[in-house]
Amino acid sequence: MDSHIKSPPTRRLSTGERENAIDRTIPLFPPAIEIDEHNYFDNNEPPEYLEDMIRGAQEFVSFHKNDRVVLVTSGGTTVPLENQTVRFIDNFSAGTRGATSAEYFLENGYAVIFLHRQFSLLPYSRHYSHSTNCFLDFMDEKDGKVLVDPKYQEEMLSVLRKYQTAKEKNLLLLLPFTTINQYLHTLRALSVALQPLKSRALFYLAAAVSDFFVPLHRIPEHKIQSKAGGNKLVMNLDPVPKFLNRLVDKWAPGAMIISFKLETDSSILLSKAKQALERYSHQLVIGNLLQTRKREVVFVEPNAPVLWIRLTPKQEAAGIDIESLIIPAVLERHSAWIRESGGSV
């Protein structure tokens, strides 16, 4: 390559120069209070499908009135920059944490409401997605028929049977979202639908939720135009009200609530997870770093030392899911929560 032509910097998308980072020292946004809840939900309309969706969820909860039901949120929420959305800000999440966790909850007898980013990974089908482990690579053709390559029969049969069981027993309800607004309206409505289950309801909030958004009254209707010669796009975003404490205090009284804390800077992970627990007074924060989220997490809970859960190098090499270690530890805590709440385990 000519010396004067510099190859573009080989930068991973998730790294950036520190001096460009936003000032993390700005005061934290306080937890949402009642007026914030009314302001947000009164001024940002619910998705038009919400009533139908919640009717289905109420039927699901009623069907499982004597079971343990977990609401797993998964995938990233988007912040549209135009009402007729062409551009949006996205939050990183492939949906692996949520989809894999949902499988282990199902295998432990939970009914699962899977509130997920549309088109992100789903329980069971995640094993053969369009990109990783493309399902077409597991097929073969013989006498004009499509066959599964014998090498993969056993593994695929195991996944297929679990998927079919979940469907036949009505154990898995898949509910999509895309935007932060759809997510928040749906989360609040589902929380109310789950109230009859009291302590047998579990919230496992693995979705990557936006912290800033463009309120409806400030969002342009059509695609933002870029002028010839270039013009800056200056965005004025509001903080997304911190609804976790509304969930704990009002929307889902009695349920066990677990949130995830995502950081990229290991030096602040524990303090931020502890801060979330103190601010929201829920039962467990599972902290994880973007870079190591598939091999280690840390449990931060009241009146207990922090507990690191890690895959050994051997387990990692064998392709063991860290969720196979996380979920049993969560189930133990949920059983204790039900006992302490006076429910029958």
Ligand X SMILES: CC(C)(COP(=O)(O)O)[C@@H](O)C(=O)NCCC(=O)N[C@@H](CSSC[C@H](N)C(=O)O)C(=O)O
Q: With binding defined as CB under 6 A, does residue 93 bind ligand X? A: yes
Our CB check for ligand X shows the closer of 72 and 262 to be 262
Which of 94, 175, 190, 284 binds ligand X (CB under 6 A)? It is 94
Q: With binding defined as CB under 6 A, does residue 204 bind ligand X? A: no
How near is the Cβ of 96 to ligand X at its closest, in Å? 3
Amino acid at 326: I
Q: What is the DSSP letter of 197?
A: G
How far apart are the C-alpha atoms of 241 and 213, rounded to whole Å?
10
Q: With binding defined as CB under 6 A, does residue 80 bind ligand X? A: no
Q: With binding defined as CB under 6 A, does residue 300 bind ligand X? A: no
Q: With binding defined as CB under 6 A, does residue 243 bind ligand X? A: yes
How far apart are the C-alpha atoms of 339 and 289, rounded to whole Å?
32
How far apart are the C-alpha atoms of 114 and 98, rounded to whole Å?
8
How near is the Cβ of 24 to ligand X at its closest, in Å? 12
How far apart are the C-alpha atoms of 139 and 153, rounded to whole Å?
10
Q: Which stretch binds ligand X (CB under 6 A): 62-70, 169-177, 202-210, 225-233?
A: 202-210
Q: With binding defined as CB under 6 A, does residue 242 bind ligand X? A: yes
How near is the Cβ of 6 to ligand X at its closest, in Å? 32
Q: With binding defined as CB under 6 A, does residue 259 bind ligand X? A: yes
Cβ neighbour number for residue 319 with a 10 Å cutoff = 7
Q: Rounded to the nearest 5°, which phi and psi values hold at 148? A: -85, 130
Our CB check for ligand X shows the closer of 68 and 117 to be 117
Q: Which stretch binds ligand X (CB under 6 A): 48-56, 167-175, 259-267, 335-343?
A: 259-267
Window 275 to 294, contacts with ligand X (CB under 6 A): 288, 293
Our CB check for ligand X shows the closer of 75 and 80 to be 75
Which tokens in the block code for residue 221?
A: 């209707």
Q: Enumerate residues 6+ apart whose C-beta is below 8 A from 266.
A: 289
Token pair 């598939």: residue: 294
How far apart are the C-alpha atoms of 78 and 213, rounded to whole Å?
9
49-57 long-range Cβ contacts below 8 angstroms, 24+ apart: 50/185, 50/186, 50/189, 53/175, 53/186, 53/189, 54/186, 54/189, 54/190, 54/193, 56/173, 56/175, 57/113, 57/173, 57/175, 57/189, 57/190, 57/193
Q: Which stretch binds ligand X (CB under 6 A): 125-133, 165-173, 205-213, 324-332?
A: 205-213
Q: Which stretch binds ligand X (CB under 6 A): 18-26, 107-115, 208-216, 309-317?
A: 208-216
Q: With binding defined as CB under 6 A, does residue 261 bind ligand X? A: yes
How far apart are the C-alpha atoms of 222 and 117, rounded to whole Å?
24
How near is the Cβ of 220 to ligand X at its closest, in Å? 25
Q: Which stretch binds ligand X (CB under 6 A): 48-56, 103-111, 147-155, 236-244?
A: 236-244
How near is the Cβ of 235 to ligand X at its closest, in Å? 19
Q: Which stretch binds ligand X (CB under 6 A): 9-17, 35-43, 91-99, 331-339?
A: 91-99
Q: With binding defined as CB under 6 A, does residue 97 bind ligand X? A: yes
Angle 96-107/323-340 helices, nearest 10 degrees? Answer: 60
Q: Tell me if residue 105 falls in helix, strand or coil.
A: helix
Our CB check for ligand X shows the closer of 112 and 244 to be 244
How near is the Cβ of 325 to ligand X at its closest, in Å? 14
Cβ-based burial of 182 (10 A; exposed 0-12, middle 13-18, buried ≥19):
buried
Binding site for ligand X (CB under 6 A): 93-97, 205-206, 208-209, 211, 242-244, 259-262, 288, 293
